[in-house]
Amino acid sequence: MTPRHDTDGAESPGAVAARLTGRPVVGERRLSGTLAEVTLGDGRLVMVKRGDDPGAAVAEAAGLRWLAAAGTVRIPAVHGHDRNWLVTDRIASVPPSARAAARFGRELAALHDTGAPAFGAPPPDGPQDAYIGRAPMRNVPGADWPRWYAGHRVLPYLRRAVDDGTVRAAEATVIETVCERLPELAGPAEPPARLHGDLWNGNVLWGDDGRVWLIDPAAHGGHRETDLAMLQLFGCPHLAEVLDGYRQVAPLADGWRERVGLHQLFPLLVHTVLFGRGYAEQALAVARASLTV
């Protein structure tokens, strides 16, 4: 039987799973300080995750449900949550394959096409104050992507990085210039897409059902090229097949390859705030490159 509390008095992941699912628990295996695999009495395995900040689990649960409602990419079911804890399906994974990657690309295109009410729109039952990883992220709706992206995705993290001393004020001007020129750099206007929002390789699971599953979203309405740029930022197995599958369903506007850096500014600045100067150098490099296209 799983203990109701850890030795320090905190509620154990097994106890959390029992409380939030209403089902008995027969085992638990800690994977990290914030993540555990729990076996329910009916034999099902679930993941129990503790949010880094109060309310993070609420935002993540809302994002998972919104993405799942599209019926496109596979998303783990949410079995329960509160402000601090989230219980979802546990996904059995296998090595990546080109076939699964191409299918993922087609399904991601379909997910984006389901749309969002506005750029920056949160999931219907999600909070305005959400998170991307451990960084706060505000979902403030806007109608104009260049203005919204600059004001709510790039500049807040740039200002934080400058305040922290990670980016020097003189260096920040190149990123500010990119923001000023976004209307001419952003390419053709597109409607808001339904984004995963934190689509790096670690949040892409290759399921044993031959399909890709997405976890840990920072879901919101945004530009579809942002999800694709984030996939490319930290590498993704069979990326060429993912992009080919995507473009079979939803061709990308001319010049999309040259705009990848623009869309990577957001995650690079988030990483700058969270992890330091190395990511600041990358953000400055892609900003300079964007101005020379």
| Contact (Cβ atoms closer than 8 angstroms) between residue 116 and residue 221 | yes
Long-range contacts of 282-286 (CB under 8 A, 24+ apart): 283/167, 283/175, 284/167, 284/171, 284/174, 284/175, 286/261, 286/262
Task: Compute the half-sphere exposure of residue 127: CA atoms within 13 Å on the CB side of its CA.
Answer: 16
Give the CA angle between residues 270, 239, 205 to the nearest 5°. 70
- Pairwise CA distance, residues 3 & 245, whole Å: 47
Exposure string of 81-113, with b = 16+ CB inside 10 Å and e = fewer, is beebbbbbbebeeeebeeebbbbbbbbbbbbbe
Amino acid sitting at position 52: D
Indicate if 198 belongs to the active site: yes
- Pairwise CA distance, residues 116 & 136, whole Å: 21
Q: Outline where 46-85 has alpha helix (H).
A: 56-69
The one catalytic residue in 42, 113, 198, 208 is 198
| Contact (Cβ atoms closer than 8 angstroms) between residue 18 and residue 52 | no
Is beta strand 193-195 parallel, antiparallel or unpaired with respect to 204-206? unpaired
- Pairwise CA distance, residues 65 & 71, whole Å: 10
Q: Which of helix, strand or coil describes residue 212?
A: strand
Active-site residue set: 198
